[in-house]
């Protein structure tokens, strides 16, 4: 079990490339494994979650060959694996794979996960797949899926979920008719952008997305760096005077960058498109702290992963910040509402958890303490950044969980921080 000790810093500075985007890596690997021709996925994130996806795809028959900083993935018929497919801690891998496997008539597989993933609800994905004609056993892991010749559905989601939406879209690629998914608010749209970029017949209109059964052509792409991982450094730079950062190849998908609505946190140069995704180089400098914020409604899906680190920022703003409509946080890798409030209050903050978010009073000075992130990578990294502005020493236990999404986090911490 890793232990990370952090002390108060003067500033952070440097130029680097944050880790590749986890969400895009999952989707690119899966789409390549469904392609009729060879595909190349460059610079995929090979953290634990995405490694689980790759291992599962190989067990289903995909042929992936390392080539430079990426993989060439060659067409191969899918077949029932001999052993259960272990998705580890990755809800994205489990839900997206469930959709794809369900579309292969005659293929059967059982999806399992670690203790945390085994507690997470899967009825949101198993129910629409059953409506499409798949046989799905279980509404929590393990899930056993028997693929069938599926038909399309019209599906209205009660909660905005890119994972559920994507599972339906992947399942429809081999179905007999189109599917339409309607969301209550916009969730991240990586699947739609990627499918459009490779020529799949897909149409979006407002909060509705429709996809036709389509063959998948081979493609080549390089995965951009992950905005959610970069957010830790963006917030750190905003809290430490004199900080200067350049973040290369940063993914700037507007369904992921709700954090930037807080204020002028960065400027972007070299804007470009990569397989439908907006990308640029971000320059981050210390600017005046934003005003206290109120987050809710349609903004929440666009920054759901950043809420723990945003809560840290709120402890240093002058006034009351409110986060609401974020009950989804309670069924992540941990109960992130409870764990965020717990570690910040341990450090001296004034955070009150609510059913669907939290209320944060600021500014409050923070002091070092010992924090247990309960196996949640985003809690562990948020606590580490908090240690950079806290008096004394902060000790974060169980930091092995950071490998879920950001294996180089400690290396980057050591490179960027000046004491």
Cα 317 to Cα 69, 118, 139, 266, 302, distances in angstroms: 41, 37, 42, 18, 22
Residue-wise pLDDT tens digits, 63-98 = 999 999 999 999 889 999 999 999 999 999 999 999
Average pLDDT, the chain: 96
Q: Are residues 242 and 366 in the same domain?
A: yes
* 152 and 45 housed in the same domain: yes
Separation of alpha carbons 418 and 153, rounded Å: 55
Q: Which pLDDT score is estimated for 1?
A: 64
Is position 372 annotated as part of the catalytic site? Answer: no
Question: Which residue of the set 189, 281, 305, 376 is catalytic?
Answer: 305
Instruction: Say whether both 155 and 242 belong to one domain.
Output: no
pTM: 0.94
CA angle (40 as vertex; 34, 45 as ends), nearest 5: 95
Q: Which stretches of 212-363 are assigned E, i.e. beta strand?
A: 220-222, 244-251, 267-274, 277-285, 294-295, 319-323, 350-354, 357-362
- List the one residue out of 286, 290, 270 whose CA is nearest residue 278: 270
Is there a contact between 73 and 39 (Cβ–Cβ < 8 Å)? Answer: yes
Q: At what angle do helices 377-387 and 227-239 cross, to 10 degrees?
A: 20
371: helix, coil or strand?
Answer: strand
From 202, 222, 242, the end of a domain falls on 222
pLDDT tens digit string along 14-44? Answer: 999 999 999 999 999 999 999 999 999 999 9
Q: Range of 40's domain?
A: 22-222
If asked whether residues 119 and 233 sit together in one domain, one would say no
What percent of the chain has pLDDT above 70? 100
Looking at the structure of the chain, the number of domains it has is 2
- Answer yes or no: do 261 and 340 share one domain: yes
The verdict on 267 and 395 lying in the same domain is yes
Based on the fold, state whether residues 393 and 411 are members of the same structural domain.
Answer: yes
At which of 222, 247, 269 does a domain end? Answer: 222
CATH number of domain containing 109: 3.65.10.10
pLDDT tens sequence across 108-163: 999 999 999 999 989 999 999 999 999 999 999 999 999 999 999 999 999 899 99
Give Cβ neighbours of residue 393 (< 8 Å, ≥ 6 apart). 5, 6, 7, 368, 387
Does 279 lie in the same domain as 209?
A: no
For residues 291 and 354, state if they share a domain. yes
- Segments of 297-338 assigned E as strands: 319-323
Of 222, 237, 261, which residue is a domain's last?
A: 222
């Amino acid at each position: 079990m890793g232990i990370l000790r952090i002390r108060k810093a003067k500033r952070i500075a440097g130029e680097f490339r944050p880790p590749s985007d986890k969400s895009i890596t999952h989707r690119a690997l899966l789409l390549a494994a469904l392609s009729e021709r060879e595909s190349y996925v460059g610079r995929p994130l090979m953290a634990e979650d995405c490694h689980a996806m790759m291992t599962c795809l190989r067990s289903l028959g995909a042929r992936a060959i390392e080539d430079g900083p990426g993989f060439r993935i060659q067409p191969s018929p899918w077949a029932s694996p001999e052993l259960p497919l272990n998705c580890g801690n990755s809800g994205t891998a489990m839900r997206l794979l469930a959709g794809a496997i369900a579309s292969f008539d005659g293929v059967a597989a059982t999806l399992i996960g670690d203790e945390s993933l085994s507690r997470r609800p899967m009825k949101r994905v198993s129910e629409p797949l059953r409506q499409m004609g798949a046989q799905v056993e279980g509404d929590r892991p393990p899930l056993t899926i028997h693929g069938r010749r599926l038909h399309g559905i019209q599906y209205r989601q009660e909660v905005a979920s890119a994972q559920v939406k994507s599972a339906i879209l992947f399942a429809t690629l081999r179905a007999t008719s189109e599917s339409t998914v309607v969301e209550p608010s916009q969730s991240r749209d990586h699947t739609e952008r990627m499918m459009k970029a490779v020529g799949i017949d897909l149409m979006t209109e407002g909060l509705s997305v429709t996809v036709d059964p389509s063959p998948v052509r081979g493609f080549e792409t390089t995965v951009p760096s992950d905005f959610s991982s970069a957010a830790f450094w963006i917030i750190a730079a905003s809290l430490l005077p004199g900080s200067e950062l350049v973040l290369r190849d940063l993914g700037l998908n507007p369904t992921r960058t709700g954090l930037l609505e807080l204020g002028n946190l960065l400027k972007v140069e070299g804007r470009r498109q990569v397989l439908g995704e907006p990308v640029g180089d971000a320059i981050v400098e210390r600017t005046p702290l934003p005003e206290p914020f109120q987050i809710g409604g349609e903004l929440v899906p666009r920054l759901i992963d950043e809420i723990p680190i945003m809560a840290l920022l709120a402890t240093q703003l002058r006034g009351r910040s409110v986060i609401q409509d974020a009950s989804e946080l309670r069924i992540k890798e941990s109960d992130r509402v409870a764990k965020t409030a717990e570690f910040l209050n341990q450090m001296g903050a004034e955070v009150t958890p609510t059913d669907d978010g939290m209320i944060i009073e600021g500014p409050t000075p923070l002091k070092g303490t010992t924090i247990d992130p309960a196996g949640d990578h985003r809690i562990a990294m948020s606590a580490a950044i908090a240690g950079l502005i806290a008096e004394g020493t902060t000790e974060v236990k169980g930091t092995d969980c950071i490998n879920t999404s950001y294996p180089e986090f400690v290396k980057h911490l050591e490179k960027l921080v000046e004491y």
